[in-house]
Chain A
């Protein structure tokens, strides 16, 4: 049992730190939930990609560095410690790319991954529907067979960053009469600007168009954009979901950096007699460390050959609740200044509030923990 990095990993850390120190924008970019901010973040992704820092864990042929999980964690620590911008391409990088590595064809990987790595094509996840949230398998959007491909119709919603993104991936019902709802689903990719697609941005709590609904009216998708077997989309989607809740969506580096900033804020302005607030700051520091070490333990298991299972639900509940507590503490430390909408803390706060809802709500995650990790009997859903 040890926490020390090999000299080669330390060298990787130093290289990342040096590069980031020279390249991270001096003035923070505008929120990526605005049109202007989105464009600026694409430019940043291209800059990262030019020196192969945008997808360090991918194989080199697709623009990565073939970094293992430990180096990925190290990179994330350095990335957020350097104050680098949030990742506009994260849905593609964290959700679609692992799906393509597991279930895609060689042709799909070669066609899709390089432009994802550079931010030239930004991807949105089109899973949820108005009547299919937690019960995702009840989705009704259709994929109907046609010459050389499929015609998609129906409505998707809550699609993060779809307001400004280029393409989307999601599940469609291709066989309407299967005995179980999980069957007869097909996993497809489509162009958000294709004929028949209408994207309507939706303002989140602060009004910014952070997500969108997507209307599809006989949108043509060629066969080459099916991932996995037609009708076998559920299995493909579940491997994506494990990634979403697991290590990649919220790396510990982000929280370590945020808790450092919180401590600096506390030292700068806290009333020393307010021990209740001090305790919350300490909990933020402790939580970031706990999350980092929990992740290192998991990474060690992966190195031993383990794969991500239902433990990813522990992770998801932890980071989502932690994120809110951290940001609430920051806003309380700021006092009346915390009301100001255009700060990193307020942006982070609004973002954090959605954590227990997306990527499978925390109620659903707790069911998974209880049933699959603790072995409790299934009850009525």
Chain B
């Protein structure tokens, strides 16, 4: 029983953080939002080199996984830096492909996902796939099984300008008639929870820094109790989401993962509302970088399981002690 990250895991987070800080992600996000994927692709391959996607790919397919705890560590950092792209989808696709009864598609597709040469998106049952315009591997779960989609339909805007919602074209190669969807969903939810926690942590950090320097009535606004208490509540919400995330990464039980997903996303969303309020009008502008995280907190809340779906999952098992 030592429920703490070890030195190696913390060093992994720190090195990703340093790399992403140097990469000026806000400008990458803004380009990505306009459909200019160049900077995003370059960043993607550096993230892959750091090993993030390999954590979801088994060693047999040139990955380092499956290692959900380290993946969660990595995705917190991706969220903290608002990295754009089908990050969660690539992880979910990797988890799905790795567990197919027929090992051939995995052998063909997984090594390039692990190395970052390829990126993937995944759509369940006719839902939109994220960033189908940018992903190189498009997986669609249709009525007859899992297919490699030949292309994508018209791009729809998301409330998060950095997310492009894309229907996938029908047809394409049939990879499996019985794909392990629940397994992939677990990985997608875990990665989303971690990303959301990172988004929430970034929103809190930025807001704390802002209220310390913004003065009104002759004092920093952060000295007002109404301001402090909202930030304290955001801190509490995020700090109690974190252990659920790592607990879920250790067990990967569907109820645990669902609990982490709903809690991390709600905590990030509460923090986003607080961040917007405490920045005043400047927070409500697209120009100011805070908007990049605000928009993502909203979008992640319903991605890969709404709060209601996740709560239902928590109660769906039989009676058990944790």
Contacts and interface: CB of A to CB of B under 8 A. Distances in A.
Interface of A: 1-6, 9, 70, 81, 256, 260, 263-264, 266-267, 275, 278-279, 281-283, 285-294, 296-297, 299-301, 303-304, 314, 317-318, 363, 365-367, 369-371, 373-379
Contacts of A285: 259, 314-315
A3 B263 CA distance: 20
25 contacts: A2-B2, A5-B1, A70-B1, A256-B321, A260-B319, A278-B312, A278-B315, A282-B311, A282-B312, A285-B314, A286-B259, A286-B263, A289-B259, A290-B241, A294-B240, A294-B243, A296-B1, A317-B232, A367-B225, A369-B235, A374-B235, A376-B212, A376-B220, A376-B228, A379-B219
Given A370-B222, A374-B232, 20 more contacts: A1-B2, A2-B3, A3-B1, A275-B312, A281-B315, A286-B314, A290-B243, A292-B322, A293-B243, A293-B247, A294-B240, A297-B4, A300-B3, A314-B236, A363-B225, A370-B228, A376-B222, A376-B223, A377-B222, A378-B223
Contacts of B322: 256, 288-289, 292
Contact of B1 (A4, A275, A375): A4
A366 B3 CA distance: 26
Contacts of A291: 240
Given A260-B321, A291-B240, A297 B3 contact: yes
Contacts of A367: 225, 228-229, 232
Given A3-B250, A376-B211, A282 B315 contact: yes
Given A9-B1, A289-B322, A377-B220, A318 B311 contact: no
Which among A279, A290, A365 has the highest number of chain B CB atoms within 10 Å?
A290
Nearest to B263: A286
A342 to B, nearest CB: 26
B314 to A, nearest CB: 4
Which among B6, B224, B232, B233 has the highest number of chain A CB atoms within 10 Å?
B232
B295 interface: no
Contacts of A379: 219, 223-225, 228
Nearest to A6: B1
Nearest to A365: B232
A159 B229 CA distance: 28
Contacts, number: 156
B6 to A, nearest CB: 7
B110 interface: no
B308 interface: yes
A371 B208 CA distance: 11
Contacts of B246: 1, 293, 297
A190 to B, nearest CB: 36
Contact of B250 (A1, A260, A376): A1
B189 to A, nearest CB: 14
Contact of B239 (A301, A314, A375): A314
A317 B235 CA distance: 11
Contacts of B239: 294, 314
A378 B220 CA distance: 10
Nearest to B5: A1
B4 A304 contact: yes
Interface string B3-25: 11110010000000000000000
Contact of A290 (B219, B235, B240, B311): B240
Contacts of B5: 1
A363 B262 contact: no
B307 interface: yes
B106 interface: no
B95 interface: no
Contacts of B241: 290
Nearest to B237: A318
Nearest to B73: A1
A5 B231 CA distance: 35
Interface string B254-295: 001001001100000000000000000000000000000000
B223 A290 contact: no
A365 B229 CA distance: 9
A261 to B, nearest CB: 11
A314 B240 CA distance: 9
Contacts of B243: 290, 293-294, 296-297
Contact of A318 (B9, B224, B236): B236
Nearest to A77: B321
Contacts of A370: 222, 228-229, 231-232
Contacts of B247: 3, 289, 293
Nearest to A74: B1
B244 interface: yes
Given A278-B311, A294-B239, A81 B321 contact: yes
A263 B235 contact: no
Contacts of B222: 370, 376-377
Contacts of A294: 239-240, 242-243
A3 B3 contact: yes
4 closest A-B pairs by beta carbon, nearest first, are: A293-B243, A370-B228, A282-B311, A379-B223
A374 B312 contact: no
Contacts of B321: 81, 256, 260
Contact of B208 (A283, A317, A363, A376): A376
A376 B110 CA distance: 47
A9 B319 CA distance: 24
Given A1-B250, A363-B229, A369-B232, A300 B315 contact: no
B69 interface: yes
Which among A5, A282, A378 has the highest number of chain B CB atoms within 10 Å?
A282
A292 B247 CA distance: 10
